Structures are given as C-alpha cells and as structure tokens.
C-alpha cells in the first residue's frame, strides 16, 4: 500500500512521517519517499532521526511546484517507489511525503492508494473553513499541533466543527505530537488501511 502525506509548509508532515515510522516499523515493512523542490532536507531529517534504516528513505527533488510531482507528472515519485520495492521486496507500506504546498494539493491515485492531508493550528481556526481539495477530499484530515491553539488564539471547537462540516463524513484527527509522540489515532488509521488490503 502507498499512502501520501500532503499539506502546507510547516504543518508537520515530516514530523508525522517520523512518528508513523517509529510506531509502524515493529509491525510493518515500511519505506518512505520524500519530496523537496531543491534539497533533500526532509529525507536528511528522517535519516538523522534514525526512524528507519537510511536505505529505506528515498528523496525526490522535484525542481518544480510540489503538487506537480505528486499529481501531474508522478514519474520521479513512481521511480523512487519502484526502487524501494525492488530493493526490499514485499513492502507493506510506502509513505510518500509531498513537499509543502497549499490547500489544493492532492495526490494522483496512480501514485498512492490513500492520502492524508495535514494542516496545523498555527494557521488559525479558519483553515478548514477555507476548504480546498486537500482538506475536503483527502482520505484523512489531520489537524496538527493542537498544543499551539492557546498560543495563537485558535478555537479548536470551531476548527474541528468546520473540518467535519466541509469533509462531509470523512475522518478528521486532531493531534499534538508533543502530547502524543506516537500519533496514536493516525497510526491506528494507517494500520486499518493496510489491514484492509487483500493479501
């Protein structure tokens, strides 16, 4: 299975990937593809953090808008995924992290089977209300950095209600990786998605 993780710059995508890698590695055969425009910063961060063996992490330098490499021309990402699948054989899960983008970023279904979209509280409680395909159509919306709400004046009740309203029944997780470093709810959702894949 391939799960894409997208969202704006600074929303906590890489931190979520790190948390998922730590939580899932004992249970799943896992690899990660990261996307950055000009650098390998996110892949380097994950390698330094030691969340996976370094050769289980591939970096894609898109050289263009992040959404182009995950939606329009997915060739570089597909090649990175295929390289990991050839290297490790029967992987249970590949996480594909998009470079930071706006609320319209969505993954091609030719690249991923499911997608998670991450927004953060620091953007204000208006973010879910603004909608955008990333917020409204992702298989899971994660409202990240809940611990920052009092510091930025975000009303979590409003933010959560708006998220549920615009998503029309699709799941929403509110989390703080400070309070829950294992991203328990997202980890559970990912495990359920993987378990649902016929073997």
Annotated binding residues for GTP, as ranges?
7-14
**2-181 is classed in which CATH architecture?**
3-Layer(aba) Sandwich (3.40)
- The two tokens of residue 137 are 């159509």
Annotated binding residues, as ranges?
7-14
Pairwise CA distance, residues 124 & 122, whole Å: 5
Residue 16: is its pLDDT beyond 80? Answer: yes
**What are residue 3's phi and psi, to 5 degrees?**
-120, 125
Alpha-helical (H) ranges within 31-181 are 41-49, 66-67, 75-88, 127-130, 133-137, 149-152, 156-167
pTM (2 d.p.): 0.96
Q: What pLDDT, on a 0 to 100 scale, did the predictor assign at position 66?
A: 76
Strand partners for 114: 3
Q: Is 127 helix (H, G, I), strand (E, B) or coil?
A: helix
Domain ranges of the chain: 2-181
Q: What pLDDT, on a 0 to 100 scale, did the predictor assign at position 168?
A: 95
Alpha-helical (H) ranges within 25-154 are 41-49, 66-67, 75-88, 127-130, 133-137, 149-152
Q: pLDDT grade, residue 68 (50/70/90)?
A: confident
* Gyration radius (Cα) of the chain, Å: 16
Closest to 46 (Cα-Cα) out of 117, 96, 108, 103? 96
Residue 198: is its pLDDT beyond 90? Answer: no
pLDDT, mean of residues 92-100? 94
Question: Which pairing describes strands 140-144 and 114-120: parallel, antiparallel, or unpaired?
Answer: parallel
């Amino acid at each position: 299975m391939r799960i894409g993780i997208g969202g704006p710059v600074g929303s906590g995508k890489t931190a979520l990937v790190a948390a998922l890698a730590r939580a899932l590695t004992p249970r799943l055969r896992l690899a990660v593809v990261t996307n950055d425009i000009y650098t390998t910063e996110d892949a380097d961060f994950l390698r330094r953090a030691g969340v996976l063996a370094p050769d289980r992490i591939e970096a894609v330098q898109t050289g263009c808008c992040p959404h182009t490499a995950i939606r329009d021309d997915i060739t570089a990402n597909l090649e990175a995924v295929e390289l990991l699948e050839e290297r490790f054989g029967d992987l249970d899960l590949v996480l594909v992290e998009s470079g930071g983008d706006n609320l319209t970023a969505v993954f091609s279904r030719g690249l991923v089977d499911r997608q998670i979209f991450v927004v953060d509280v620091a953007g204000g409680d208006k973010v879910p209300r603004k909608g955008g395909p990333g917020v409204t159509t992702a298989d899971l919306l994660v409202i990240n950095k809940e611990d920052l709400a009092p510091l930025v004046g975000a009303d979590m009740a409003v933010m959560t209600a708006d998220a549920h309203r615009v998503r029309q029944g699709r799941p929403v997780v509110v989390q703080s990786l400070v309070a829950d470093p294992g991203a328990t709810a997202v980890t559970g959702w990912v495990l359920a998605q993987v378990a649902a894949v016929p073997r």
